[in-house]
Amino acid sequence: MAARRILLGVTGGIAAYKSAELVRQLKKAGHEVRVVMTRGAEAFVTPLTFQALSGEPVRTSLLDPEAEAGMGHIELAKWADQVVIAPASADFIARLAQGMADDLLTTVCCATEAPIAVVPAMNQAMWSNARTQRNIRLLEEDPQIELWGPDQGAQACGDTGPGRMLEPEAIFGLIDRGSEGVLSGKTVVITAGPTREPIDPVRYISNHSSGKMGYALASAASKAGARVILVSGPVALAPPIGVEVRQVLTAEDMLREASNAVDEGCDLFIATAAVADYRPETCAGDKIKKSSEAMALSLVRNPDTLATIAGRDDAPFTVGFAAETTDVASYAIDKMQRKKLNMIVANDVSAPGLGFNSDNNAVTVFWPGGQTSIGPNSKTNIARELVAMISEHLDQAAR
């Protein structure tokens, strides 16, 4: 594992004592570690403990005159390859979710471009509280932030349930996967979002795809060690950290850019985009005016990006998506067989609160000779499970 610069944030909670062991493991593996503690964290573990283990001064104050003479919080933000907040208290999660910068740790999180891992630790009732869960949903939508945990089990207060911080060994393993992830060394091309097929300079044909599932997969694949190229239709989403995004508008644009990306070398192609099946035969040069009660529009079929990539002589391992409203399984299996796909991920977009424009989803994955279901869950969590599952099948196909 290549040495990395890990900035560990420690917030107030009894689990802070476990973070000392995490620092020891990271240093033993050859990483550079710097620690930032909140005032609450100092009530449980002294800065001297982390200084002795990390071999670096511990920062505790945003307004430290000596450190801030050189804009210390910005230096820390730029220094880090990875930020890990462990433990992350309910209070810290609330402040981070709202974009606050009222202490050194939240300020560094606002200033850094490094990925941020948040490892929750709190009482089970605090974790289940509606306000905490609202803040968690906000963090899940942030492409820079990943949530690790929480675990379940006995808690220091005597309660049992979700809210325990992951053990140091588990956190160390999650940090480790960036360089030794399940897709390490692989190139992944993903399509996402809708396409827009112009009728005239003002109007177009499109669909309800938000691109959230594709963007979540791109982020998960990148965090699993892959080089990721995301060919995206028009969406209102921030580019995932560490992912190359190529913007397209129409189905023909999608095919061209996806083909170019595969030409550059591709191990895995995942087609989540909701590409319009048809486009207007002609696009009017000027805005069409209302002149009658009805208007006929002649449509022609668009090129099939998924089938084209899967049908190449040098086709990568190809995974399709099927958004259906009825007979989900039969339509998905038929699509997989017709287009010669390695796997297909199907979901019922008519289910309330799932699919298009939702943060949640429930899918069934099919491959020749097998199937499994995932969810309902957040698209972020489903993406992680899909990446792990797809990587297993990719490895099997390579043997």
Instruction: Indicate if 157 belongs to the active site.
Output: yes
Instruction: List phi, psi (to 5°) of 364.
Output: -120, 130
User: Of 109, 110, 157, 283, which one is the catalytic site residue?
Assistant: 157
**Catalytic center residues:** 157
